[in-house]
Amino acid sequence: MSQTYEKYFVPEPSRYPIFGSIALLLIASGAVMWLNKVGSGPWTLAIGFAVLVYMLFGWFGQVVRESEGGSYGKNVDASFRWSMGWFIFSEVMFFAAFFGVLFYVRVLGLPWLADADNSLLWPGFSAAWPSAGPVVEDPFTPMAAWGIPAINTLILLSSGATLTWAHWGMMKENRGQLKTGLFLTVLLGAIFLTLQVYEYMHAYHEMNLKLTSGIYGSTFFMLTGFHGLHVTIGAIMLTVMLFRVMAGHFTKEHHFAFEATAWYWHFVDVVWLMLFVVVYWL
């Protein structure tokens, strides 16, 4: 806030937001139609995603051009920092809802289902975790912590380290280190996702553990599934950063897109650690 005030960049009118709205309307309508088997749901959904991808490419592309063109000063940079922080906070609260559900079920819900009041309704039901509830139809094997999940923990933690190493490369203006670090991070993310897919297939085919396996299956697949979705998004962001680095974008002083991606990646990392402890281990 000194005497030389820097004009805050306010973008020109843009047609991308309305494409985003049309995309979400198509996606929502398509999903409703598909789930209720009316009309051509899958097609509507697919068109919606296509419009969304067009919007994301166009909008982010414009932001990248504005950023590289020097439109964003210190104030805009500060706005980006605040907003990414608050966005990650909203994501934390999204996961908090599902972690809260797991806590409620294990600490309150199941013991209540098994208590004296309900013993007439479901005699012999005990609140041992993992549980598929009092009406077990299909026995399953719960997921063990010390196999693939433990390896995945190591992989994600290493990816956090390679990403930080890449950031050091950025700060030292060592583009080789930056590229190698980013590439390794994307690779580790891809290995993590591959192992998750393998684990899901194993669960479905050999362990009879499914989304429909009572409350254990519900919480297991929803928590790990939404985490996997976020790893996928993070990996896409990292890939975009890798392409931008290869295109010569970013300087030592000006690379918040990279930092924001790193924040996001560390956030999904921390979520995984909590998942590992409360979903797989305990």
Shortest distance, position 259 Cβ to other proteins, whole Å: 16
Site for other proteins in 1-20 (CB under 8 A): 1, 5, 7-8, 10-18, 20
Is residue 206 part of the contact set for other proteins (CB under 8 A)?
no
Shortest distance, position 71 Cβ to other proteins, whole Å: 13
Asked whether the beta carbons of 143 and 263 are under 8 A apart, the reply is no
Pick from 4, 36, 116, 120 the residue near other proteins by CB under 8 A. Answer: 36
Is residue 224 part of the contact set for other proteins (CB under 8 A)?
no
Is residue 68 part of the contact set for other proteins (CB under 8 A)?
no
Is residue 75 part of the contact set for other proteins (CB under 8 A)?
yes
Helices (H), the chain: 16-35, 41-68, 74-103, 110-113, 116-119, 148-171, 175-205, 214-246, 256-275
- 42 cis-preceded (ω within 30 degrees of 0): no
Pick from 24, 150, 191, 207 the residue near other proteins by CB under 8 A. Answer: 24
Asked whether the beta carbons of 99 and 274 are under 8 A apart, the reply is yes
187/193 Cα distance (integer angstroms) = 10
What is the total residue count of the chain?
Answer: 282
Pick from 4, 69, 90, 253 the residue near other proteins by CB under 8 A. Answer: 90
Give which of 207, 238, 235 is closest to 221, Cα–Cα.
207
251/142 Cα distance (integer angstroms) = 48
Asked whether the beta carbons of 143 and 207 are under 8 A apart, the reply is yes
Assign 15 to helix, strand or coil. coil
Shortest distance, position 175 Cβ to other proteins, whole Å: 30
Count of residues engaged in binding other proteins, rule: CB under 8 A: 65
Report residue 83 CA to chain centroid gap. Answer: 17
Pick from 32, 145, 150, 278 the residue near other proteins by CB under 8 A. Answer: 32
Q: What is the DSSP letter of 11?
A: P
Q: How far is CA 153 from CA 157, 191, 262, 271, 272, in A?
A: 6, 12, 17, 11, 7
Among 151-159, 175-183, 205-213, 259-267, which window interacts with other proteins (CB under 8 A)?
Answer: 205-213
Per-residue interface string for the shown chain with other proteins, residues 119-148, x marking contact by CB under 8 A: ------------xxxxx-------------
Among 149-157, 165-173, 182-190, 211-219, which window interacts with other proteins (CB under 8 A)?
Answer: 211-219
Shortest distance, position 3 Cβ to other proteins, whole Å: 9
Interface contacts to other proteins, rule CB under 8 A: 1, 5, 7-8, 10-18, 20-22, 24-25, 28-29, 31-32, 35-36, 38, 59, 75, 78-79, 82-83, 86-87, 89-91, 93-94, 96-98, 100-101, 104-105, 109-110, 112-113, 131-135, 210-212, 214-219, 221-222
